[in-house]
């Protein structure tokens, strides 16, 4: 049996899990950070929770006899990707990185590039605006430096601590979203700026299309540098990579 560990928490990881569940001679486990309470159970065994940094992940790889590590985490999940890179190298096992391609601007888009979330808060400007924040729960505090705006915040699950933003409302939703519904929301809430991470992928793309259709400026936060992204964008290609290593192990 070839043992595969998939670091997940994304739609792509779940697609890969379905392929792995069908494969012969492969015993794969999915790992979730545990940030989302309502986990969509994959069709392979799974574990939940951090490993305890590089050392913890390395220990897990050794104890579980993992042969191939797949980093299928979100492109903005920097810490775990960095741990995966180092731990795989030290464990001398192959690492496949599955990462969705970023969204690419078209001539119809009105994007304002922001290198990071703090820059995104700055480029909102001094004039009070109605801002749609679709950045998850962890970086909401950054916007306390721009308290003059109204923030409509969309998260998958309720935020544990209410953001210290004087004028905000939290709504919940898990993609994929329909373009028509996103347009309706943007119109009804009189939104004049959308702030998003350049996560890529289809599930969250409807808001980008809706903003495009309405001519709405989008503050697009760039992916963090430093972490290696790719080279795989397709779960099927990662399966090829795993199967290649499976054959190599058998000496075929």
Q: Which of the stretches 70-78, 94-102, 203-211, 216-224 binds ligand NAP when contact is defined by CB under 6 A?
A: 70-78
Half-sphere exposure of 6 (CA within 13 A, CB side): 33
**Diameter over CA atoms, the chain:** 66
Euclidean distance between CA atoms 132 and 127, whole angstroms: 15
Contact between 214 and ligand NAP per CB under 6 A: no
Q: Which residue has the tokens 């078209």?
A: 106
Smaller CB distance to ligand NAP: residue 66 or 80? 80
Contact between 8 and ligand NAP per CB under 6 A: yes
Smaller CB distance to ligand NAP: residue 74 or 192? 74
Which tokens in the block code for residue 107?
Answer: 């001539």
Which tokens in the block code for residue 138?
Answer: 């962890």
Smaller CB distance to ligand NAP: residue 51 or 192? 51
CB of 188 to ligand NAP, least distance (A): 26
Segment 14 to 53, residues that bind ligand NAP, using CB under 6 A: 31-33, 35, 50-53
In 3D space, the residue among 80, 71, 3, 68 whose CA is nearest the CA of residue 35 turns out to be 80
Euclidean distance between CA atoms 141 and 55, whole angstroms: 30
Contact between 163 and ligand NAP per CB under 6 A: no
- Are 251 and 103 contacting, i.e. CB atoms less than 8 angstroms apart? no
Smaller CB distance to ligand NAP: residue 98 or 210? 98
CB of 235 to ligand NAP, least distance (A): 14
Among 23, 39, 59, 78, binds ligand NAP (CB under 6 A): 78
Q: Where are the alpha helices (DSSP H) in 23-151?
A: 53-63, 78-91, 117-123
Among 2, 68, 80, 131, binds ligand NAP (CB under 6 A): 80
Euclidean distance between CA atoms 75 and 61, whole angstroms: 22
Nearest residue to ligand NAP by CB is: 50
Where do contacts with ligand NAP occur on this chain (CB under 6 A)? 7-10, 31-33, 35, 50-53, 56-57, 73-74, 76-80, 83, 136, 197
């Amino acid at each position: 049996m070839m043992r595969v560990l998939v670091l997940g928490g994304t739609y792509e990881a779940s697609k890969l899990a379905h392929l792995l569940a069908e494969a012969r001679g492969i015993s794969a486990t999915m790992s979730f950070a545990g940030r989302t309470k309502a986990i969509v159970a994959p069709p392979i065994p799974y574990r939940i929770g951090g490993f305890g940094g590089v050392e913890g992940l390395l220990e897990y790889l050794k104890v579980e006899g993992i042969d191939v590590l797949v980093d299928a985490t979100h492109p903005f999940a920097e810490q775990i990707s960095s741990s995966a890179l180092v731990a795989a190298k030290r464990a001398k096992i192959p690492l496949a990185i599955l990462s969705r391609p970023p969204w690419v601007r078209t001539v119809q888009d009105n994007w304002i590039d922001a290198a990071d979330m703090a820059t995104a808060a700055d480029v909102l400007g001094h004039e009070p605006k109605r801002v749609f924040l679709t950045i998850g729960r962890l970086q909401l505090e950054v916007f306390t430096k721009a308290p003059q705006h109204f923030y409509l915040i969309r998260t998958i699950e309720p935020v544990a601590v209410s953001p210290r933003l004087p004028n905000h409302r939290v709504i919940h939703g898990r993609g994929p979203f329909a373009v028509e519904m996103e347009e309706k929301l943007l119109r009804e809430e009189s939104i004049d700026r959308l702030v998003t991470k350049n996560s890529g992928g289809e599930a969250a793309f409807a808001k980008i299309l809706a903003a495009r259709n309405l001519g709405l400026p989008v503050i697009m936060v760039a992916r963090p540098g430093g972490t290696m992204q790719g080279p795989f964008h397709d779960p099927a290609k990662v399966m090829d990579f795993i199967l290649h290593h499976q054959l190599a192990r058998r000496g075929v």
